[in-house]
């Protein structure tokens, strides 16, 4: 049977771009539909603009800390309008770069919404064009999910938070996951008064418990009011624009903005998936096997729409694996083991492998190594900020099965540690590695004594006193 294209990808986000580019440069005929802007969540309204705002928000503290090093700096604060304008320019540049990259590779871009009509046909919604393809891949990502409470229409999500006209003087951030914690840090760093309202016991559920506690303590030191066990029951908007929150605790609060970061739902509606026979799970995620194949042989799905591990680099690696499977003659399953990740909170969190609780459930006996110290940078700045690192070691094999950090540059540091964990390095191999001195990162290879809970009320401080860490 003849098809218009070998591959039709719905969604030009991180996964869809990588897949369509790889397949096109191998010589196959590829088209990709995008209803918004090429780049998807990560580039247009996620990781990239968020990280730029994180950078911006750190300068306030850095300028204060510089005084400890003799700098005499006067600041009149950050211009939100300038920041957003410059961020938008950078996003435009990246969007154009991705469009150029796809076009150079020979990918046909189909602006608009594509709907699956049958296992080999899509229809472009606005002009009714029918396009056939040997393989169809759904890479439509996810979208912020909001609870249905009265007044929720007054809330914003991370999408709007990146585009606000003014920096809110007072903001409530609802949720305790990646996005909530990151935006709480951004707004706090830029000078807003921030309340973080989380329904659970402690922020960052699913992360190592020591990391959660440490980050909550450090965020509180910076002035973020974390209110755990708190849910918003309703929002009201006053005539002056003030948002009034009613809380389940009986309390309330007034804000200029209320940001809900309460998770993301797969973009699987209205795509014709059910009609074509593609199975979805109870939450609307496309069900796939290890090779990203759906219940229909010619239709695959990658990235956040499958709700496997909703991270950009994972979507990219799923796209690359699928290109190898469908067009490279090398069936390659997606690999979701030991995926490192970072939360760009302030300070940052970096993590790879198992939490202590996960490892205990899997292996029973563990050796734990922990260190908490004031980084050298803050000896002269005087800032009361501590860093924390933890290694989780399976006792029987002495394999490092988890590494966790809270502290400046944790994201950068954990990337290197992740290679060792992925390779199955033992604690002895960590110990064998010479540290880079003087750094915080060297603590990962100098923690010698296992942590002993009853005897040590506080985490032992390891390492060389010459490091000036304390
Ligand atoms: P998460 O799933 O990480 O967190 C959602 C939070 O909202 C949780 O704290 C959850 O509470 C809470 N929540 C869910 N529903 C409700 C509700 N009805 N009322 C009140 N609170 C609620 O989602 P995010 O939106 O933060 O991020 C989505 C995904 O995007 C992440 O899982 C991550 O994979 C990815 N991401 C990655 C980033 C990175 O790599 N740095 C940055 C940003 C996003 P509870 O814990 O009780 O369930």
- Could you report the average pLDDT of every consecutive run of 10 residues in the chain (470 residues)? 96 98 98 98 98 98 97 93 98 98 98 98 97 98 98 98 97 98 98 98 98 98 98 98 96 97 98 98 98 98 98 98 98 98 98 98 98 97 97 98 98 98 98 98 97 65 48
**Residue 401 marked as a ligand binder:** no
| Strand partners for 236 | 244
**For residue 118, what are the contacts with CB-CB under 8 A and spacing of at least 6?**
276
Residue 46 labeled ligand binder? no
Q: Which of 104, 335, 17, 289 is nearest to 7 (CA)?
A: 17
How far, in Å, from the CA of 203 to the mean position of ligand 1? Answer: 10
CB contact at 8 A, 405 and 439: no
Question: Which residues surround ligand 1 with Cβ inside 6 Å?
Answer: 147, 174-180, 182, 198-200, 205, 231, 261-264, 310-311, 341-344
Residue-level pLDDT at 453: 76
* Closest residue to atom 38 of ligand 1, CA basis: 178
- Does the domain at 152-262 match CATH 3.30.360.10? Answer given as no
Q: Which of 40, 157, 199, 343 to mutate to test the pocket of ligand 1 (most atoms within 8 A of CB)?
A: 199
Q: In the chain, which segments carry CATH 3.50.50.60?
A: 5-144+265-327, 152-262
Catalytic (active-site) positions:
437
| Ligand 1 atom closest to 180 (CA) | 26
Question: Is 178 known to sit in a ligand binding site?
Answer: yes
Nearest-CA residue for atom 2 of ligand 1: 263
Contact 83, 166 (CB under 8 A): no
pLDDT score of 249: 86
5-144+265-327: CATH superfamily:
FAD/NAD(P)-binding domain (3.50.50.60)
Alpha helices, H only, 256-354: 273-276, 312-327
Segments of the chain assigned to CATH 3.30.390.30:
341-467
Q: CA–CA separation, 174 vs 181, rounded Å? A: 9
How many of the other CB atoms lie within 10 Å of CB of 14?
30
Q: 3-state class of 329 per DSSP?
A: coil
Strand segments, DSSP code E, in 154-309 are: 170-174, 193-197, 225-227, 232-237, 243-247, 252-255, 257-260, 264-266, 299-301
CA of 257 to the centre of ligand 1 (A): 19
Sign of the dihedral through C-alpha 65, 66, 70, 76: negative
State yes or no: 416 annotated in a binding site: no
- Which tokens is 291 given? 């090779």
pLDDT of residue 463: 47
Peptide bond into 77 cis (omega under 30): no
Contact yes or no for 93/16 (Cβ under 8 A) = no
Question: What does the pLDDT read at residue 467?
Answer: 45
Q: How far apart (Å, rounded) are the C-alpha atoms in residues 162 and 160?
A: 5
What lies within 8 Å, CB to CB, of 359 at 6+ separation is: 366, 392, 394, 401, 402
Q: What per-residue confidence (pLDDT) applies to 455?
A: 62
Site to probe by mutation for ligand 1, drawn from 175, 228, 265, 303 as the one with most ligand atoms within 8 Å of Cβ, is: 175
Would you identify the CATH topology of the domain 341-467?
A: Enolase-like; domain 1 (3.30.390)
Question: Is-contact 102 109, C-beta < 8 A?
Answer: yes
* Alpha carbon distance 246, 235 (integer Å): 6
Query: How far, in Å, from the CA of 174 to the mean position of ligand 1?
Result: 10
């Amino acid at each position: 049977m003849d098809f218009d294209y070998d591959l039709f990808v719905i969604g030009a986000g991180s996964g869809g771009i990588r897949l369509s580019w790889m397949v096109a440069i191998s010589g196959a005929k590829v088209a990709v539909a995008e209803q918004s802007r090429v780049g998807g969540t990560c580039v247009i309204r996620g990781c990239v603009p968020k990280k730029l705002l994180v950078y911006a928000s750190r300068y306030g503290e850095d300028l204060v800390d510089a005084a400890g090093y003799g700098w005499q700096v006067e600041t009149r604060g950050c211009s939100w309008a300038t920041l957003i304008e410059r961020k938008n320019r950078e996003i435009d540049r990246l969007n154009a770069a991705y469009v150029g990259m796809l076009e150079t590779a020979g990918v046909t871009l189909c602006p608009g919404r594509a709907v699956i009509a049958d296992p080999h046909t899509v229809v472009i919604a606005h002009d009714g064009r029918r396009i056939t393809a040997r393989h169809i891949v759904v890479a439509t990502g996810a979208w912020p999910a909001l609870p249905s409470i009265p007044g929720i229409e007054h809330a914003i999500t991370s999408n709007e938070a990146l585009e606000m006209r003014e920096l809110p003087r007072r903001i409530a951030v609802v949720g305790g996951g990646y996005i909530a914690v990151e935006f709480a840090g951004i707004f706090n760093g830029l000078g807003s008064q921030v309340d973080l309202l989380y329904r659970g016991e402690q922020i960052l559920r699913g992360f190592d418990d020591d990391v959660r506690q440490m980050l909550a303590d450090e965020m509180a030191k910076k002035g973020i009011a974390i209110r755990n066990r708190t849910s918003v029951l309703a929002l009201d908007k006053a005539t002056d624009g003030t948002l009034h929150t009613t809380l389940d605790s009986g309390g309330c609060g007034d804000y200029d903005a209320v940001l809900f970061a309460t998770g993301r739902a797969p973009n699987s509606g209205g795509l014709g998936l059910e009609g074509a026979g593609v199975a979805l799970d109870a939450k609307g995620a496309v069900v796939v096997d290890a090779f990203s194949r759906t219940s229909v042989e010619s239709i695959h799905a990658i990235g956040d729409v499958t709700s496997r591990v909703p991270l950009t680099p994972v979507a990219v690696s799923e796209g690359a694996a699928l290109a190898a499977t469908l067009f490279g003659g090398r069936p390659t399953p997606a690999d979701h083991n030991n995926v490192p990740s970072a939360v760009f909170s302030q300070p940052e969190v970096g993590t790879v492998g198992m939490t202590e609780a996960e490892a205990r459930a899997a292996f029973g006996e563990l050796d734990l190594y922990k260190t908490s110290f004031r980084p050298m940078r803050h000896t002269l700045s005087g800032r009361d900020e501590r860093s924390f690192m933890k290694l989780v070691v399976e006792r029987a094999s002495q394999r490092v099965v988890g590494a966790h950090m809270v502290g400046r540059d944790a994201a950068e540091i954990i990337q290197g540690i992740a290679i060792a964990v992925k390779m199955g390095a033992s604690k002895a191999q960590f110990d064998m590695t010479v540290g880079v001195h003087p750094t915080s990162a060297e603590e990962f290879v100098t923690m010698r004594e296992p942590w002993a809970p009853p005897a040590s009320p506080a985490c032992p401080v390891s390492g060389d006193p010459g490091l000036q860490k304390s």
